[in-house]
Structure 1
């Protein structure tokens, strides 16, 4: 089995938080910001997510010089982010890596024996796939994402 080469270009670090307002205020006091709301998530076709719970996830992001930081506050319902928060507390939920083709990258990871945690795709084929690497000993989930320009 060959090693995947898809986790090479770090795009973002996502931190799950209990209180978005408190977290953004704290990070801004440390000089990290400004924080911007994610665009609505309702266009994603999902696999591995309860749609209603997914749409209750609150996300904000801040761009720093070399990477994007993301904050996620889970809402009601069952999502991997909510389970992470309940079981492990606040912290890094995933590292997001940019890839040119999310479907191809997902196939490479599956071929390497890495389990899919969940995925979302937009009509143009862009989107994300989370891999269940936290339980496998990595301590944090990995994600690939592609965006059509």
Structure 2
């Protein structure tokens, strides 16, 4: 793992939540995009040494909608930046870590992402995130 790339925060509404981050906390909004494959809209916020991703569900059957229904708004995942995501996934599997998918998926910002099953990570959803220079 290279670093903590970002922290994902599940929210009901980016529009309602964003002023807290930009006006109250004084952080900078970098971009908003939709990631159809994850059924989510993402607002990228620059928090200095780390990015925050506000995650708003775009469908009731998406993972963020299910998370909010079960746990409410709050920290959804912590993402580690990695190089060669497929090799890192294989290393984790060989060490007994369950992953939520066998192949990386396209995530926000054009990154390739994969998630570790929370049951293998003491209740925390971790994301592996490999960014290309175009996705950063």
Shorter-chain TM-score above 0.5: yes
RMSD: 2.3
Q: How many residues align?
A: 129
Separation in structure 2 between the aligned mates of residue 40 and residue 91 of structure 1, nearest angstrom: 19
C-alpha contact (below 8 Å) 1:117/1:129 kept by paired residues: yes
Q: Which residue of 2 is the match for residue 120 of structure 1?
A: 105
Answering whether residue 30 of structure 2 is matched by residue 36 of structure 1, we say yes
- For structure 2, the 5+ residue unaligned runs are none
Separation in structure 2 between the aligned mates of residue 86 and residue 60 of structure 1, nearest angstrom: 20
Separation in structure 2 between the aligned mates of residue 86 and residue 77 of structure 1, nearest angstrom: 9
C-alpha contact (below 8 Å) 2:35/2:42 kept by paired residues: no
Separation in structure 1 between the aligned mates of residue 12 and residue 87 of structure 2, nearest angstrom: 34
- TM-score, normalised by the number of residues in structure 2: 0.80
Cα pair distance change 1:40/1:22, threshold 3 Å: closer
Q: Which residue of 2 is the match for residue 141 of structure 1?
A: 125
Structure number having the greater strand percentage: 2
- TM-score, normalised by the number of residues in structure 1: 0.74
Q: Which residue of 1 is the match for residue 92 of structure 2?
A: 109
Higher relative contact order (CA 8 A, sep 6+): 1
- For structure 1, the 5+ residue unaligned runs are 1-5, 43-50
